[in-house]
Amino acid sequence: MSGSIKFSSPTTVLPPYGAYSHAAVVSAGSRLLFTSGQVGETPDAVIPETVEEQYRVALNNIVCILADNGVSPKNIVKITTYLVSPIAPDKMRKIREDAFGDIAPAATLIFVPKLAGPKYLVEIEAVAALD
């Protein structure tokens, strides 16, 4: 992936609060993968009760989608997270680091009143550069 993605956070804006970058530039000619929103539901239809566990499952679902396309979380250029319930920032960073490793893509966190089903507390979508 060296050369096809460049992350940056200019000194002319407030530094990122966490493990993300303000911008991601993808080289021309790269193929992009867009995931659908992934909820915290396991392949065997289990929906954990806590927002933290649903977050972990949703991130794992993204890892599986990336792997199925021959790439890893290092290919993620943008991630958008929708939460119904907040997660303590330190817990959120730890869970994401456990799932994705040490990456800092462009990122957005949005609090919403509800998602597609009443048990869902998390939905995450990602964009990844494949080559």
Mean pLDDT computed over 59-66: 97
Domain extent for 110: 5-129
CATH number for 27: 3.30.1330.40
Whole-number pLDDT of residue 1? 44
Q: DSSP for 48-85, please give it.
A: -SSHHHHHHHHHHHHHHHHHHTT--GGGEEEEEEEESS
Total domains in the chain come to 1
Reported confidence tier of residue 3, pLDDT bands at 50, 70, 90: low
